[in-house]
Amino acid sequence: MLHILKRHGVRDTIQLNGRSAELYPDVVKAAVAGGHAIAAHGYYQNELLLYMSAEEERATIRKTLDAIEKASGKRPDGWATPIYGFGERTLEFLIEERLLWTHDTMDTSLPYQRTTPGGSIIMFPWTDFVDNRVLRGDPSGLFNAQKDAFDYLYKNEPMGVVHVGLHAHVGGRPVMAAQVDKLLNYFRQFDDVWFTHPGEIARWMKQERIEDISAAKLLFG
**2-213 CATH, one of 2.70.98.40, 3.20.20.140, 3.20.20.370, 3.40.50.1100:** 3.20.20.370
| Residue 138: predicted pLDDT | 87
Backbone phi, then psi, for 123, in 5-degree steps? -90, 115
Q: How far apart are CA 58 and CA 89, in angstroms?
A: 9
Compute CA distances 175 → 11, 171, 198, whole Å. 21, 8, 26
Cα radius of gyration (the chain): 17
| Residue 218: predicted pLDDT | 67
| Residue 221: predicted pLDDT | 57
| Residue 23: predicted pLDDT | 97
Task: Give the chain's count of helices (H) and strands (E).
Answer: 10, 6
With a cut of 70, which residues of the chain have pLDDT below it?
Answer: 215-221
Q: How far apart are CA 45 and CA 54, in angstroms?
A: 19
What value, to the nearest 5°, has the Cα angle with vertex 121 and ends 51 and 88? 20
Predicted TM-score of the model (pTM):
0.91
> How remote is the C-alpha of 36 from its chain's centroid?
12
| Residue 213: predicted pLDDT | 79
| Residue 161: predicted pLDDT | 92
Other CB atoms closer than 10 Å to residue 37's CB: what's the count? 21
| Residue 63: predicted pLDDT | 98
What is 49-100 written as a DSSP string? GGGS-HHHHHHHHHHHHHHHHHHHSS--SEE--GGG---TTHHHHHHHTT--
Closest residue by Cα to residue 99 from 57, 32, 40, 49: 40
Closest residue by Cα to residue 146 from 176, 170, 120, 104: 176
Q: Are 40 and 22 in contact (CB under 8 A)?
A: no
Q: Are 37 and 11 in contact (CB under 8 A)?
A: yes
Segment 97-119, tens digit of pLDDT: 999 999 999 888 899 999 999 99
Give the start-to-end residue ranges of the domains of the chain: 2-213
